[in-house]
């Protein structure tokens, strides 16, 4: 029994095209970084106080003595735009992107299946279905939180947080592999 477990643990699988995988990862990372910056620049609601209150105060002049107007700026509260609830705007945009992706990218699947380029079929058992559902649910939770953080803190801090999740996935993978190797010895 011990001889079999050593053989299973010592099998090394070499990737068929590691350079291609690295290049695809690089392109995906650059695209994702561009997406984050463009999202923060164009899609996030303006909550910066300097931008939103630009017309409500006068800058202090540098050369002239200060001149203050005794009448305060009047604000018409009927024309005031109230912000949406926290996180709703970011998650609405993400949901719309996901729905449009779903609506457009399923179209080639029947053609790929019909012509034998790729075979599509339902999962064979309930364990696989539950695993796929768990991955989808965790992806929804991660993306919802990610979009809110991207809108609140910006792309740099959000990217650092995203990189820290890679370490957690690595620890999880190492732990699960150790459990598999340890359980195969008994």
119 found inside a domain: yes
Distance of alpha carbon 88 from alpha carbon 106, whole angstroms? 27
| Cβ neighbours of 5 (radius 10 Å) | 15
74 found inside a domain: no
Tens digit of each residue's pLDDT (9 = 90 or more) over 79-105: 666 666 766 777 788 888 889 988 998
167 found inside a domain: yes
Whether residue 113 has pLDDT greater than 70? yes
Tens digit of each residue's pLDDT (9 = 90 or more) over 10-50: 566 666 777 787 888 888 888 888 887 887 788 776 654 44
Only one residue has tokens 């011990």, namely 2
103 found inside a domain: yes
How many domains, in total, are found in the chain?
Answer: 1
Q: Per the structure block, which two tokens stand in for 143? A: 């993306």
pTM of the model as a whole: 0.51
Which residues span the domain enclosing 24?
2-69+86-184
80 found inside a domain: no
93 found inside a domain: yes
Distance of alpha carbon 146 from alpha carbon 160, whole angstroms? 11
Radius of gyration of the chain (CA): 26
Distance of alpha carbon 87 from alpha carbon 75, whole angstroms? 27
């Amino acid at each position: 029994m011990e001889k079999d477990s050593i053989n299973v643990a010592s099998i090394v699988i070499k990737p068929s095209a590691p350079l291609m995988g690295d290049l695809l990862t690089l392109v995906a990372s650059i695209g994702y970084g561009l997406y984050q910056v463009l999202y923060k620049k164009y899609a996030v609601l303006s909550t910066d106080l300097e931008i939103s209150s630009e017309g409500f105060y006068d800058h202090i002049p540098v050369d002239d003595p200060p001149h203050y107007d005794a009448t305060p700026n009047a604000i018409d509260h009927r024309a005031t735009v109230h912000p949406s609830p926290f996180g709703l705007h970011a998650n609405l945009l993400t949901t719309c992107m996901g729905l449009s992706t779903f609506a457009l990218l399923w179209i080639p699947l029947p053609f790929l299946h019909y012509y034998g380029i790729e075979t599509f079929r339902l999962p064979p058992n309930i364990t696989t279905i539950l695993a796929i559902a768990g991955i989808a649910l965790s992806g929804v939770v991660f993306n919802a939180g990610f979009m809110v953080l991207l809108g609140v803190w910006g792309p740099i801090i959000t990217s650092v947080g995203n990189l820290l999740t890679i370490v957690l996935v690595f620890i999880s993978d190492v732990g699960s592999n150790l459990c598999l190797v340890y359980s195969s010895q008994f």
